[in-house]
Structure 1
Amino acid sequence: MERDPHFYLLFTFVLLSMLGLHMSVEADYLNISCQYKFGNYSTHSTFESNLKVLLDSLSNNTTHTGFYNTTVGEGHNRIYGQALCRGDASSTACESCVSNANLEIMKLCNAEDALIWYELCQVRYSFQDFFSNMDYTGKYPYSNSQEKLASDPALYYTYLMYLMKNISTEAAYVNSTRMFVTGQINYSMSQTIYGLVQCTRDMSDNDCYNCLNSALGDLKTCCYLREGGMVVSRTCNARYEPYRFFNGSTTSVLSFPASTGTGDQWKKGRIALVVGILGLLLLLAGSCAVYFNRRKAKKDQDRSPHALLHDLVNPVSVEMTEEGNLVSSEELPFMDLATIKAATDDFSSLNKLGQGGFGTVYKIVLIINLFCMMPLSSDSDKRAQLDWCTCLSIIDGIARGLVYLHEDSRLKIIHRDLKPSNVLLDHEMVAKISDFGMARIFCENQSSANTRRVAWKLWTEGKELELVDPSLAESGRAAEIVRCIHIGLLCVQEDPRDRPTMSEVVTLLGGQTGTPPEPKKPAFSVGRAAQELNQSLAPDLSANEMTVSSISPR
C-alpha cells in the first residue's frame, strides 16, 4: 500500500524524539580549555574514577543554588570541581546544562585540569585547589564574529561601557550574594543595549570587580565594532547584545547622563555664557603656555646636553652627578661624544649601517654589548626554555601587543617592520615588541634562512610540519602548531581584505573550537631562486649584508 510522504516525516520525527536525539542549544558549548601542560590522566585510572564521581556530584547539587564546588579523592588523585549556572537559568535548565557539560568534558578532555563553558553554565575541575582564587584568562566564543557591526562604534561603545561598568560594580559590591546582575540602557529611540555580568560565588568583592574589569577590557579587544559580544573566563563572564537574551526582569535599568543642549531662551543664554567663559579661559591658558614654553626653551639653551637627556629618560631612574654628567648603569649605559666619535671613526660613512626615522645608525662595538645585556639570547640555555607552550604564549603576546597598537592606543600605529629580531623577551619569556635601528646586528643570517624555508608549497602539499623546529615538534601538539601556521598564512594573503584583523587573530589563537578558513595564496613567496640570484647577480653586495630577492608579481 502506498503511503503519504508526510507519514515518513512524522515517523522519523517521532523516532528521533523517542531516542532523545533532539536539537538543543545546550548541545553546543561556547569554548573549552584542556590544560594538557599540567598532565593528563589514563583511562580506567583512579583519577578518572574520582572525576566521574565528582561530576555526578556537581550535577546533583548545583541545581538547588546554581553554584557548587566540592572535592573527591585523596593525595595525588584528589580532584577539585566547580559548577556555575547563569543566574537567570531555571533549575531544570541548570541541571540539563551541567549534565551536558559533564558528558562533553569527559569526551573531549583527558587533561588533569579542564574547563568548559556553555551559554547557561560552566564546569571546571583540576588536580590543584583553585577555590576562591581569582584566575582571569579571557576566552572569546566563536559566536562573537557573527554579531552585526555597529553603525557608530565609538558612540555605541560609550553607552555600552557606561552600562557594563555600572552593573559590574553592582554585581561585585551590591548584589554580592549571587554576584549576578543584568541591565539595560537605551542607546537610541529604537534601540536598547542589554548586558549581563556574573562571577563565581567563591570570589571576594574586590576579586569579582577586578575580574569583570579585565573582561570589559577584553570585550573591547574582541567586539569593539560589533553590537554584541561575550567574554568568558575561569571566574567571571560578561556579555552584551542589542536584544534581550536573558530571562526574568532586568536587575538594573540605566539612563545615560543627559547633556544640556535644548531648552528655552534662558538655558540657551546660559550655554552661550558658559561657552564664552570657557573660550576666554582657553585663550588665557594658551597664552600662558606659550609664555612658559619660551622661558623653558631659553633655560634649556643654558643647560648641558646631559641634563636635557636626563629629562627624556627620567622614567628609567637615571642618576646625575653634581657636575651634570649622567651616571651609566647596567640598565642604561651612557657614552660621551668623544667616545662615540672614536668608535665610529668620526662618524665615517664606512661605519654607517643605515638611515632611520630618527637619524643615522652607525656600527659601534659598545652597542653590541648593550644588546648582549638584554634577556633575549640565542644560547643553548635560553633555547631550551622555548618549548611549544612558551612559544605559543609569545605568539599570543605579540598578537595582543599589535591589537593595542592597531586599536587601543591613542594614535593608531602600524609597525610595518615586525620580525623576530624586533621582538625581545624578558627574564620571564614575555614578549616585548621593539623597533631598534640596529636590530639587524643579531640573528640576521638566521632570519634570512628561515625566510627561504617558508613556502606556501609545503602547506599545499600537507608538509607544513617540516617548517617546525624539531625541538618544538617534540614538546608541542601538532594540531596547535599547524593551527598557528594556518593563521599565519591567513595574515599574508594577497588581497588585504581577506586577511584577519589582529583582534580576529587573537580570537583565532585563543579559540579551541571552529576551523579557520582556508588561506589563499600569499602576495609573494621567496625560494631558493632568491639566494641563487643574489650570488650570481650581486656578489659584491654581500659585504654590506644586502640581499636581492626574486619576487613574483601580485
Structure 2
Amino acid sequence: MDRPSWVPLFSHVLITLWFGIAQPQQFCSNKGIFSVSSTYSNNLNPLLSSLPSRMEENGIFYKATVGQGPDKVYALALCRGDLPSEKCYSCVNATSQSIKQQCPNQKEAIMWTDSSCLVRYANRDIFTKMEEIPPFCVSNPNNFSGDFAKFNETLHGLMEKLITQASSGLKFATGYVSFTKPIYGLVQCIPDISESDCRSCLQKGMGEMESCSGGHEGGRILSPSCIVWFDLFRFYEPAGTLDAPLQFPPGPAPANLTQPPSPPSPANVSPPKQTRNRNVIIIAVAVASLVTLITIICALFLWRRMKQKVENDDEMKRLESLEFNFSTLKIATNEFSNDNKLGQGGFGSVYKVTFL
C-alpha cells in the first residue's frame, strides 16, 4: 500500500518539535559549592545577569571575570553563528537564569539551551582552553533507511569539509550535500581557542557522534568548546549563512556506523538543484503565457477601436450626403408648389422632391 502523502510532512513536523522542545543540556560540577551569602555568589550573580546585554554589544561570544583569588568567577556565553541577534539575546537571557536554578550552589556549571546557545562559568580559568568533556549527545529519533554505507561516506565528506572551513576561519561553518535527501551540517568552536584545538574538538565530536547517533537520520554533539550537528532537514537559520551545496573529491570510505535493523524503503526526494530548475521553468512559462495574453488583449482592443472609427466615418459621410441647401429644395419642389405637396406633418408641410 502506498504511503499517504502527508506522512513525510508529519514526520518533519515531529522532528522539528522534537528538537524545538528539547530540554536544556546542563552539567553541574561537584568540585566545589558555595553558599548564597558568599563572596563567590555575590560575584557570580551580577556576572550572569550581565551576559545577555553584553552579547548584544559584542555579537555571538562574550567572556568576563569578576572578583579576586578563590572567589574569582570566570564566565562566558556563546550563540550559534547563524542566530539573529534577538534570538541570541533571548537564548542567553533564558540560559543565564536557568543555570542558576539547575545548579544553585555549584562553583562550576555549563548549560546548552535548544542547541542554540551556551552559558558556562567556573572558579578556574576556562578561557582559550579546549575542553570536550562533558559531551552531550542528542539524536534524531528516526532511524536512517537506505544505502547506509554511502550515506556514511557522504556525511563524513561533508563534515570534514565543514571542519576545515570552521577551524581555519571564523570557527563556524554550515552547508549541505546532495544525497537521496540533502544532508545538512553545522560545526562551531568557541572563538578563543586555536585552529588546531578547534579541529581536534570537532573531530572528537564526530567520533562521539558515531557512538551515540549511529544509524539515525541526524544527531548533534554539544561540548564545552564546540558543537557538531547533522540532519536531513535544514535546522540552522538561512540568514547570514552561505547555504550552498559543498563539493568534495571522493575519498576512501570511513568506518561504517552501526546499521539499524530492518529499515523501511526510503522515500524518493528530488535534490534541491533539480527542484530549483523545475521552479525556474514553471515561472518562465507562466510569465511568457501572461505576456502573450496581454498582447492578444491589446491587439483586440486596438482592432475594435479602428473598426469603430471606420464605421463612424462612413456614417458621417452618409449623413452629409443627405444635407441640401434651400435653393436646391426650391428647384426640387417647383417653388414649393401645392402640386408637389404631399401633406401636413407635425413639423410642417411635406413636399415631393424631384432631382434632375
What TM-score range do you get, normalising by the shorter chain?
A: 0.5 to 0.7
The answer as to 2:43 corresponding to 1:47 is no
Query: Residue 123 of structure 2 aligns with which residue?
Result: 127
Q: Please state how far the C-alpha of 1:89 moved relative to its aligned partner.
A: 0.6
In 2, the alpha carbon distance for the partners of 1:155 and 1:123 equals 37
Q: Which has the larger radius of gyration?
A: 2
1:234-289 per-residue CA deviation (whole Å, 9 max, x = no partner) reads 10001001001111243552135479xxxxxxxxxxxxxxxxxxxxxxxxxxxxxx
Alignment of 1:353-502 (within 5 A): none
| Alpha-carbon shift at residue 169 of structure 1 (Å) | 0.5
**1:146-185, aligned counterparts within 5 Å?**
146-173=141-168, 175-176=169-170, 179-185=171-177
Amino acid aligned to 2:209: L
Residue in 2 aligned with 1:357? none
Task: Write out aligned runs for 1:259-278 (5 A).
Answer: none
User: Does residue 225 of structure 2 align to residue 230 of structure 1?
Assistant: no
TM-score, scaled relative to structure 2: 0.61
Structure 1 runs of 4+ off > 6 angstroms?
none
Instruction: Tell me the CA shift for residue 71 of structure 1.
Output: 0.2
Deviations 1:132-180 (A, max 9, x none): 0111125234x4162333433322111111000110000011x23xx11
Aligned length: 235
Note if 1:103 corresponds to 2:112.
no
Q: Unaligned regions of 5+ residues in structure 1, if any?
A: 1-22, 260-407, 413-496, 498-554
> 1:136 and 2:132 equivalent?
yes
Task: Give the aligned partner of residue 199 of structure 1.
Answer: 189
User: Which of 85, 99, 107 is the matching residue for 1:112?
Assistant: 107
Quick one: which of 178, 188, 195 aligns to 1:186?
178
Change (3 A) 1:27 1:223: closer
State the SS of the aligned residue for 1:253: coil
**CA spacing shift, 1:27–1:114, aligned 2, 3 Å:** farther
Q: Secondary structure at the match of 1:63?
A: helix
Who is 2:7 aligned against?
none
For 2:227, give the aligned amino acid: N
Residues in 1 aligned to 2:157 and 2:217: alpha-carbon distance in whole angstroms: 15
Question: Relative to structure 1, is the Cα distance of residues 26 and 214 closer, same or farther in structure 2, using a 3 angstrom cutoff?
Answer: same
* Matching residue of 2:51: 58
Contact 2:140/2:217, CA 8 A, preserved across alignment:
no
Q: Deviation per CA, 1:276-334: give whole Å up to 9, x if none.
A: xxxxxxxxxxxxxxxxxxxxxxxxxxxxxxxxxxxxxxxxxxxxxxxxxxxxxxxxxxx
Provide the rounded CA distance (Å) in 2 between the counterparts of 1:27 and 1:72: 33
TM superposition score normalised by structure 1: 0.40
Q: Tell me what 1:526 maps to.
A: none
Give the distance between the partners of 2:102 and 2:211, measured in 1 at CA: 28
Larger relative strand fraction: 2
Shift of 1:409: 8.3
Aligned CA-pair RMSD? 2.6
More helix by percentage: 1
The answer as to whether partners of 1:153 and 1:226 remain within 8 angstroms in 2 is: no
CA contact 1:59–1:98 (8 Å) conserved in 2: yes
**Larger RCO (CA under 8 A, 6+ residues apart):** 2
Is contact 1:97-1:120 (8 Å) kept?
yes
Q: Summarize the Cα distance change of 1:115–1:82 in structure 2 as closer, same or farther, 3 Å threshold.
A: same
